[in-house]
Amino acid sequence: MKNSNSSIYSKVQRNWDWRAAGNFIGGGVGSGLIFWSILLSPLGYDSLWLMLAGLALVGTGLFCVWLEIGRPWRALNVFKHVSTSWMSREAIVAPPLFAAGAACWLFEPLLAWPTALLALLFLYSQSRILLADKGIPAWRHPRCPQLVITTGLTEGCGLLILALPLIDTHQPWSWALMLILLGLRVLAWQHYRAGLEQASAPPACQKKFTAINPQFLWLGHIAPAVLLGFAFVQAEAAMLAGILAIGSGAWMKYTLICKASFIQGYSMQHIPVRGQRAPQRSVSAH
Amino acid sequence: MNSSNTKTVPSYCYNCVAGPDPMKVEVVDGVATQVMPNFDACDSHPGKGRPCVKAYGLVQKTYNPHRVLQPMKRTNPNKGMDEDPGFVPISWDEALTLLTDKLNSIRAKGLIDEQGTPRTAATFGHGGTPMYYMGTFPAFLASWGPIDFSFGSGQGVKCVHSEHLYGEFWHRAFTVAADTPYTRYVLSLGTNVDATGGPCAIARHADARVRGYKRVQVEPHQSVTGATAAEWVPIRPKTDAAFMFALIHSMLHDHPRNELDIDFLRDQTASPYLVGPDGLYLRDPDSAKPLIWDSEQQQAVPFDRVNVIPALEGTFKVGHAISVDADDERHQLNDIEATTGFNKLLDHVAQYSPDWAARICDIPADTIRRIASEYLDNACIGETIEIDGATLPFRPVAVTLGKSVNNGWGAYECCWARTVMATLVGALEVPGGTLGTTVRLNRPHEDRLRSVKPGIDGFMEQKLNPTDKENWVAKPTGRNAHTTLVPIVGSSAWSQALGPTQLAWMFQKDRPEGFNLPEPTKPDIWFIFRSNPAISFWDTRSLNKSIADFPYTVSFAYTLDETNWMADLLLPEATDLESTQLIPIGGTKFVEQFWKHKGAILRQKVVEPQGEAKDFTWISTELAKRMDLLDKYNTAINRGAGGVAPLRGEGYDFSLDINKAHQPDEIWDAVCKATSTELSNNEETKDLDWYKENGLYLKPIPQKSWYLYPTMKELGIRFEMPYQERLLRIGKELGNRLHEKDIAWWDEQLSEYSALPEWHDIPGRWETALKNEGADPDDYPFWLLATKSMQYHTGANVSIQLMREVSQNVRGHTGVIMNSNSAAKLGIANGDRVEIRSNIGVTIGRAELIQGVRPDTLVIVGQFDHWATPYAKDLEMPSLNTIAPMSLELTDATGSGADIVRVAISKVKGETS
Amino acid sequence: MTRYAMTVDLRRCVGCQTCTAACKQKNGTAPGVQWRKVLDIETGEFPDVRRTFMPVACMHCDEPPCEEVCPTTATQKRDDGLVSIDYDMCIGCSNCVMACPYEARSIAHDVKFAYGDKPMANEAKMFDPARIEVASKCTFCIERIDQAHEQGLTPGVHPEVTPACVNSCASGAMLFGDIEDPNSNVSKLLKETQSFRQHEELGTGPGVYYIWDKNDEEL
Ligand SMILES: Nc1nc2c(c(=O)[nH]1)N[C@H]1C(S)=C(S)[C@@H](COP(=O)(O)OP(=O)(O)OC[C@H]3O[C@@H](n4cnc5c(=O)[nH]c(N)nc54)[C@H](O)[C@@H]3O)O[C@H]1N2
Ligand SMILES: Nc1nc2c(c(=O)[nH]1)N[C@H]1C(S)=C(S)[C@@H](COP(=O)(O)OP(=O)(O)OC[C@H]3O[C@@H](n4cnc5c(=O)[nH]c(N)nc54)[C@H](O)[C@@H]3O)O[C@H]1N2
Ligand code: SF4
Ligand code: SF4
Ligand code: SF4
Ligand code: SF4
Ligand code: SF4
Ligand SMILES: [Mo]
């Protein structure tokens, strides 16, 4: 069925803007950072600042959401539906995450482990929020969570690479990790987009992703990978790779939340029969 | 809402001519909050008690902050679009004093001016619906004396005009509809009933669709009605006549005769009337009665000779007969060859083959042939149906025409062809067929069947304006000269408003060469109510200048608008939900209001009037009192001018004391009682309170009354079809009169008077008109058409936000409709701001690109382009009326014109998509 | 069990928007907020073009994704199939708006009236501040359904307890009733006709049925 007018074309959702994207970006990068900081320091001591930075990012993201919601003073209602709502679950993970982080900082560095786990859970919840939003084909696709999680971890790692020289020294193992994550992210990205195509997601949505694809590949993956290789010669190059990995991930997520989030649109499976059926007419007659 | 202060109040909506439709209004703490159906009328109202979307706008209408809520007088003596009128509020007392002083000064000068036309003029718009909101004002007008209704607003001449006139002429059909509940096949040429027919038409057609009827919509763009049809045929504008001629050709020349209703043609129509070589009926030398050919005795006999089987077809030798030409000129005819009217038709349409029409209409010849076959296949020739115990022919095929097909040049041809098509299969005025719905030019309005009386030549009686030497009205009595120029419009109460009202406007400014009718004067006072000619007519910018020239304009005003911008006095009347009026319902109404009941419905004061708005009946009484006209005014009310039934009748008397000023409720109480008493044959009397509670009073009428056929048969009258001898003669006579007076500027119009209409290049008239204006038709490659909006009733509710909001869901409501392929060629994208240009002006809107419109056609919905009406003036909506010229050349013989104009379209410069 | 559902006969609908207006008025929704509307859809290419009108509103799904994602339990599905929103509970997070595949929900952020900032008398009567900044959508005219129990009336049969849009429909395109009751108007009509529901593949179990032809078996 060929549509010649736009009334049932899907449009981009307008309810979640940069503030919601901020939550997914902040939450992703923040929880990723918290998670990787554990690898840096399994005992927790050296990663405290990184963890706190990660928590701050997660907090900023949540603050963004708070700014977005219509009735902020009722925000506590958000905890009421843990039985099915991933938004409730995301919310319910946040307090223990912050509590664990605080306890880790104040009392017991070993608590970095549960903190990291909670951060992972937080990231996972975020990915499920999107998956549950059936009105947005780009989000509800089963391959969307993988992408959201890998990109969160990749950005977290990017931030780690960026932050390490500030609090410590360059750690080449993080470069290697980053290379792996970049590989995973690009795989998840291609896999996801192939999935959208198979699922016949709105063409306009796919177009948004296709439009950012070259830059996402070159600036977000190939360039950082090359830079990481170069980092073994000139360590600062890794920092640039980290920036590129974070920036490209954030940009991709912003696209996912705000630009490619075309709504489902309506469907009319059958044109109604109005009285007797219309006779077949040959188009060539005109 | 469910508080104890909530009530629902029955009333009616008659905002457009498809009404009246019953409704209820919810009132919470004295505030109207919502409109809803009146399911008490579910079984009687053809729309099942539901009003349409427009009625839902009445709540906002009531509380619209832009209303005029106090009488206002103009302080700026200069009038013009750029002149702020400087309205200042005044009291009702001051307003009525100003008005009575003015009226008294007119009465002192004489009600008729030096040119013989009334000094008082009035314009009430939108197809006569203001009547149902003006309370007893008609009684005041009746008490006043002569009034000129010449200045139209497009109602009439831009309405379904030729249908009004020829429809009444042929089958008492002021408006024409399909017998939708019974029909199997409707050929609709531009009839937009699913947008314009109100809930009655919508419900009837929806039922028919589910039942499985087929509607073929022939129209240059796919309107709402095109959408809901089974098939859409995108015809080239203004070529419908050729299409229908070809259908008739195909029915007569491609199909065996027995597919037609031979009995009907022979016995109920003029088909067997013999036509002589001079194109006139052959008549009996003694009685001057038309002759038919007695197929048994093989001789010509008067048409009313009993026990004769007339020949339908054939050529016959007639020894001696006469013919009666214009001005009663009699020709003796001896030994001539005569043929029947039917034969004339046969020969006439031989030239109009489907292949011929295909080129003109841009419709494949095969499609034309197929439609002709489908029409015949569904006609059920020979079948009957039982209605109210009577056996009637069952011919479930109908042909209907929309506005712009049935007005302006080509409309006569289309109306004729429409009725011929019905006639050929006997589907005229029988169940399933093509029916008239109401009468307005003939009396009584409330009973179409009783308006039929036997007249000359075996046809029904016609009240035409005289064209004979003695009685022709050489000096117009009104400024649109309807009695002088348009015989067929007659001279009843509605005739003037259906005259060539554009002439009244045009002649104010320019008069044709050789114009020698009395120089038109300006009315000393002009009343305007529920009408906005400055938006609704053609060439509105220049028409506006004429309005500005009127010396004294009194507007009953709802808001400021483009017409009352030039007014001297604004009087706010209590509107739809704020005032009281009882009107007739059921019986004959416009469009598809086919009821099986008849009665009266009350519009009541659902809520208190806002501000200082006053009930129209109060205003009327107050005026009558101040003008010392109470006795005449009350007498008119007693006669029934204000409502439904006369206040005194057989066995009842509720008449008012004629010397007293009565309050509105007193008056309507009497009307309510009289009406119910009359309707129930004195069995019961219902007062105003009863109506307030119950809304409407009905009594059943037989469905048989929908069909004129039984009456025609009973009275032994034939339909005046297909050969138009009378019109031919009248045209000649009119020509004689005009030429005797050296009037040549109506000659083109005279060419329309033909016995069998011929195809002439109808769309070409618009191109020629351009050339005559010195323009090049190639510069204006598109046709621009108008189409009505379901959510708007003409321009009357353009200031209602709710209508604006919901109309945005329906295409066409943001600008101009255009074919996307044509747009691509011009670099126009969807939503672009475009200018649509004709030779007289420009109108601006947004392009709405679709596939469902011919590549050579643009369409603008409704009538907008407001510049004074609050709210509406901020919606940048284009209008055909701003750029369609008003011209004598584009006026047909009935005095109407079509909403169509040649235009160019381009993106507004300096804007990007 | 009772499961309220709506049928929309696409053969009847003329796109007049009477239902759109009736819903707005009955529910006092702000300018721009339409709990229901009727789409004007064109398909095909000149001259083989079809134009169809399709009313849309909340489908009152069997498995409403809006309910699932709602973090506050403001959105709830009732036993009779109605999906409702508790305006006092809702935080306006829009998650349900994204979850709904039928564009049924919206959030009005500002107080708006038909003619600017000041409400008309009727708007003042109907204005409900609780509806600002929270999600809202078609309720299936829930107060009327609830009254049905109190008054012993049947939704879909008695207009007092039938949705305003259904009552108003000029073409009689819509019916409302209990689809679990084989004798209800909706059940009977669905038996005689062919219908579809939008996006059934998403597993939402929408409660609005679109009728497009008679049932061939009935021919
Ligand atoms: N482009 C285009 N032009 C057309 C047509 C078309 O389809 N397209 N249609 C033509 C036809 S068929 C007709 S009949 C005419 C009709 O055209 P008009 O006779 O002009 O009728 P309306 O547009 O209904 O009248 C509009 C005026 O009535 C006022 N009004 C509305 N309600 C009230 C009220 O309660 N009280 C008072 N006092 N005033 C009120 C409005 O403010 C507005 O100024 O238009 C013709 N012109
Ligand atoms: N909702 C609503 N209903 C109304 C009114 C209203 O304003 N609003 N007005 C009432 C009044 S006053 C009137 S007069 C009636 C009019 O009722 P209709 O005659 O049904 O009015 P239109 O919608 O103008 O329909 C005419 C159609 O003819 C098409 N058309 C134009 N030119 C041609 C042509 O050359 N050939 C063919 N085949 N088609 C052509 C136009 O595109 C248009 O769609 O409606 C009445 N009902
Ligand atoms: S069709 Fe006309 S009269 Fe009837 S409800 Fe609609 S606007 Fe009123
Ligand atoms: S249509 Fe949308 S809002 Fe309504 S119940 Fe289904 S998912 Fe929820
Ligand atoms: S906006 Fe309200 S109803 Fe919707 S998901 Fe959020 S809390 Fe629930
Ligand atoms: S059921 Fe009620 S709330 Fe829902 S669309 Fe209809 S009128 Fe509006
Ligand atoms: S009221 Fe009925 S016919 Fe009109 S748009 Fe709504 S569903 Fe369609
Ligand atoms: Mo009209």
Q: Is the pLDDT of residue B837 over 60?
A: yes
Residue range C32-62, pLDDT digits in tens: 999 999 999 999 999 999 999 999 999 999 9
3-state SS, chain A, equals CCECCCCCCCCECCCCCHHHHHHHHHHHHHHHHHHHHHHHCCCCHHHHHHHHHHHHHHHHHHHHHHHHCCCHHHHHHHHHHCCCCHHHHHHHHHHHHHHHHHHHHHCCHHHHHHHHHHHHHHHHHHHHHHHHCCCCHHHHCCCHHHHHHHHHHHHHHHHHHHHHHHHCCCCHHHHHHHHHHHHHHHHHHHHHHHHHHHCCCCHHHHHHHHHHHHHHHHHHHHHHHHHHHHHCCCCHHHHHHHHHHHHHHHHHHHHHHHHCCECCCCCCCCCCCCCCCCCCCCHHHC
Q: At what angle do helices A172-198 and A236-254 cross, to 10 degrees?
A: 20
* Interchain contact, C211 vs A272, CB within 8 Å: yes
Residue range B673-692, pLDDT digits in tens: 999 999 999 999 999 999 99
Residue C7 in contact with ligand 7 by CB distance below 6 A: no
* Interchain contact, B850 vs C42, CB within 8 Å: yes
Residue range B722-771, pLDDT digits in tens: 999 999 999 999 999 999 999 999 999 999 999 999 999 999 999 999 99
Contact of B280 with B754, CB cutoff 8 Å: no
The pLDDT score that the predictor gives to residue B1 is 46
**B46 Cβ partners below 8 Å, 6+ apart?**
B199, B200, B203, B204, B592, B593, B594, B595
Q: Choose among B859, B845, B867, B868: nearest CA to B901.
A: B859
Q: Is the pLDDT of residue B91 over 90?
A: yes
Determine the distance in angstroms separating the CA of A131 from the nearest CA of chain C, rounded to an integer: 9
- Transcribe B401-454 into DSSP letters: E-TTTSSSTTHHHHHHHHHHHHHHTT-BSSTTSEEEEE-SSSS-TT-TGGG--B
Strand partners for B601: B583, B696
Q: Is the pLDDT of residue A197 over 90?
A: yes
Where helices occur in B795-911 by DSSP H, the ranges are: 801-807, 820-825, 880-883
Q: Which ligand is nearest to the CA of A65?
A: 5
The pLDDT score that the predictor gives to residue A278 is 47
CA distance B759 to B241: 7
* B803 contacts on C by Cβ (under 8 Å): 21
CA distance C134 to C95: 11
Question: In one letter, which amino acid is B392?
Answer: L
B588 pLDDT band (50/70/90 cuts)? confident
The pLDDT score that the predictor gives to residue B131 is 93
Q: Choose among C107, C162, C117: nearest CA to C140.
A: C162
Residue B858 in contact with ligand 2 by CB distance below 6 A: no
* A200 lies within 8 A of chain B by CB: no
C217 pLDDT band (50/70/90 cuts)? low
Q: What does the pLDDT average to over B299-326?
A: 96
Q: What does the pLDDT average to over B227-234?
A: 97
Q: Is the pLDDT of residue B409 over 70?
A: yes
- Minimal Cα distance from A285: which residue of B? B364
Q: What percent of chain C has pLDDT over 70?
A: 99
* Interchain contact, A275 vs B229, CB within 8 Å: yes
Q: How many of the other CB atoms lie within 10 Å of CB of B146?
A: 13
Q: Choose among B53, B50, B44, B42: nearest CA to B21.
A: B50
Question: How many helices, marked H, and strands, marked E, lie in chain C?
Answer: 7, 10
The domain made up of B762-907 has a fold known as Barwin-like endoglucanases (2.40.40)
CATH of residue A239? 1.20.1630.10
pLDDT, greater one: B586 or B231:
B231
Residue B326 DSSP class: G
CA distance B536 to B866: 10
The pLDDT score that the predictor gives to residue A8 is 65
Q: Which two tokens stand for residue B334?
A: 């001896």
Q: What does the pLDDT average to over B666-670?
A: 97
Q: Is the pLDDT of residue B3 over 80?
A: no
The pLDDT score that the predictor gives to residue B172 is 96
Determine the distance in angstroms separating the CA of C55 from the nearest CA of chain B, rounded to an integer: 11
**C128 Cβ partners below 8 Å, 6+ apart?**
C28, C87
C-interface mutation test, from B13, B810, B814, most C Cβ less than 10 A away: B810
In a domain, A1, yes or no: no
CA distance C174 to C156: 10
A-interface mutation test, from B188, B231, B371, B809, most A Cβ less than 10 A away: B231
* Interchain contact, A286 vs B364, CB within 8 Å: yes
Q: Which ligand is nearest to the CA of B238?
A: 2
Contact of B758 with B880, CB cutoff 8 Å: no
CA distance B577 to B58: 7
CA distance B195 to B192: 6
Q: How far is the CA of B789 from the centre of ligand 3 (A)?
A: 12
Using CA atoms, how far residue B800 sits from B12, B233, B530, in Å, is 19, 34, 15
C107 → closest Cβ in A70, A263, A283 = A70
The pLDDT score that the predictor gives to residue B127 is 86
- C167, C169, C174, C208: residue to mutate for ligand 7 pocket, most atoms within 8 A of CB: C169
* Interchain contact, C41 vs A268, CB within 8 Å: yes
CA distance B871 to B700: 44
Q: Is the pLDDT of residue A2 over 70?
A: no
The pLDDT score that the predictor gives to residue B889 is 95
C-interface mutation test, from B5, B16, B21, B210, most C Cβ less than 10 A away: B210
Q: Is the pLDDT of residue B474 over 90?
A: yes
Residue range B538-574, pLDDT digits in tens: 999 999 999 999 999 999 999 999 999 999 999 999 9
Would you kindly state where each structural domain of chain B is located, as residue ranges?
176-436, 762-907
* Interchain contact, B830 vs A6, CB within 8 Å: yes
* Interchain contact, A133 vs C52, CB within 8 Å: no
Domains of chain C: 4-212 (3.30.70.20)
Residue range B633-659, pLDDT digits in tens: 999 999 998 668 899 999 999 999 999
How many domains does chain A divide into? 1
Q: What does the pLDDT average to over A24-41?
A: 93
Domain that holds residue A237: 6-270+279-285
Q: What angle do CA B760, B763, B769 make, to 5 degrees?
A: 100
**B272 Cβ partners below 8 Å, 6+ apart?**
B265, B266, B292, B293, B303, B310, B311, B312, B340, B341, B342
Q: Choose among B492, B530, B547, B497: nearest CA to B896.
A: B497
Residue B28 DSSP class: E
Chain C: list its partners (3+ Cβ pairs within 8 Å). Answer: A, B
Determine the distance in angstroms separating the CA of A125 from the nearest CA of chain C, rounded to an integer: 12
The pLDDT score that the predictor gives to residue C156 is 97
Q: Is the pLDDT of residue B520 over 60?
A: yes
Q: Is the pLDDT of residue A5 over 60?
A: no
Q: Is the pLDDT of residue B800 over 80?
A: yes
Residue range A103-139, pLDDT digits in tens: 999 998 899 999 999 999 999 999 999 999 999 999 9
The pLDDT score that the predictor gives to residue A47 is 83
pLDDT, greater one: A172 or C6:
C6
Q: Choose among A128, A131, A130, A116: nearest CA to A50.
A: A116
Please give the CATH superfamily to which domain B176-436 belongs. Dimethylsulfoxide Reductase, domain 2 (3.40.228.10)
CA distance C156 to C152: 13
The pLDDT score that the predictor gives to residue B289 is 98
- C8, C13, C26: residue to mutate for ligand 6 pocket, most atoms within 8 A of CB: C26
Residue range A63-93, pLDDT digits in tens: 999 999 999 999 999 999 999 999 999 999 9
The pLDDT score that the predictor gives to residue B912 is 60
* A268 lies within 8 A of chain B by CB: no
Decide if B176-436 and B762-907 have a common fold. no
Residue C214 DSSP class: E
SS3 assignment, position B895: coil
Q: What does the pLDDT average to over C11-17?
A: 98
C68 → closest Cβ in A85, A91, A274 = A85
- Minimal Cα distance from A69: which residue of C? C93
How far out from the chain centre does Cα C72 lie?
23
CA distance C97 to C83: 14
Determine the distance in angstroms separating the CA of C166 from the nearest CA of chain A, rounded to an integer: 19
Residue C98 in contact with ligand 5 by CB distance below 6 A: no
Residue C138 DSSP class: -
C216 pLDDT band (50/70/90 cuts)? confident
Cβ-count burial of B340 within 10 angstroms (0-12 exposed, 13-18 middle, 19+ buried)? buried
Residue that has been written with the tokens 């053609």 in this structure = B538
Q: Choose among A122, A139, A102, A110: nearest CA to A33.
A: A122
Q: Is the pLDDT of residue C131 over 60?
A: yes
Q: What is the mean pLDDT of chain B?
A: 96
A276 pLDDT band (50/70/90 cuts)? confident
Query: Does an H or E element contain B138, and which?
Result: helix B137-144
